[in-house]
Amino acid sequence: MSIAVLGGGAFGTALAISLADKAATTLWARDAHGMARRRENNARLPGCRFPAGLYVTEMLPEAANASILLVAVPMQKLRAFLDENSALLDGKTIVACCKGIELETGLGPVAVIREVLPKAVPAMLTGPSFAADIARGLPTALTIACADPAMCMQLQQALTTANLRLYRTGDTIGAELGGALKNVVAIASGAAMGAGLGESARAALMTRGFAEMQRLAAHFNADPDTLSGLSGFGDLTLTCTSTQSRNYRLGFALGAGQPFDTTTTVEGAATAQAIDRLAQDHDLDLPITAAVAGLVENRLDVSSAMKALLTRPLKEE
């Protein structure tokens, strides 16, 4: 099965590097000419050389000829990208490589693919992973989620590489929600650390944030085991404890009162707002999500957000 990665950001490039070590792979990128000449993505992954099996192109129709298309664009831009290129992409196997909830619709990446490309086979690649680790060949385990069992097994085989080990699930809803909400909790964790509230506060936020992930997933009939796996608990652990996480860094900046580069894509900011709306529409109690939504919308500061969380009524765990 031929593979193409659509999107030359850090994560898309890293996936292409890993996959090209196994089989010929195409990477579609807007700066394809420069990348092809330098044989690396200087802007996003400096020092990570492209293997010989990686072909880089700026011609989307050329890349879209592959049988498996990994779409590595930000969640809030996914719909527009698919819609703009639907003639090329519909009917293909489309693997979303972004995490989040669409702000306007409350849908996750698999659901967006289904809506925009009704003839496509949608899937999602998610789990605890940093682009730099993947690009440098460090061992990483991910989840491939697809509702079609036969295709899920094919994708697992095709996308597993020497350093990428994939586990499969048919629970696309659980994979979507785990990958989305962990970014929100990462912002909260970063904010606690930036404000100097300490490791114990972060541990509490991670634990209660995981409870929110389970509560949201249960409401939408996801498998609770999915949230305990790589796409939920695994990704939560990584993003809440590392400065490599853009969501964590945004939270830290908010907590410390420091400026943050507004050009940096932080999926959890829009996702917090989207999930907060879902929680209100479905009468769900997600206080950490509500606090993060208030932070990113500048309705709350960290002190007010923590006070709101700590003064909630006492309850059984």
Cβ proximity of 107 and 115 under 8 Å: yes
Query: How do 3-6 and 68-71 pair as beta strands?
Result: parallel
Contacts of 83 (CB under 8 A, 6+ apart): 116
Residue 99: active-site member: no
d(CA 1, CA 94): 13
Contact predicate 146/173, CB 8 Å: no
Alpha carbons 246 and 210: distance in angstroms, whole number: 19
What DSSP line would sit under 114-146, residue for residue?
HHH-TTSEEEEEESS--HHHHHTT--EEEEEE-
Which residues have a Cβ under 8 Å from the Cβ of 175 and sit 6 or more positions away?
110, 124, 126, 143, 145, 169, 226, 231
Q: Kindly state the tokens that stand for 146.
A: 């697809």
> 195 is written with which tokens?
């404000």
For the record, the structure tokens of 215 come out as 């509560």
Per-residue tokens: 161:
């590489």
Unique residue bearing structure tokens 């330098």 = 38
Per the residue annotation, which of 99, 119, 182, 315 is the catalytic one?
A: 182
Q: Which DSSP state fits 23?
A: S
- Active site positions, annotated: 182
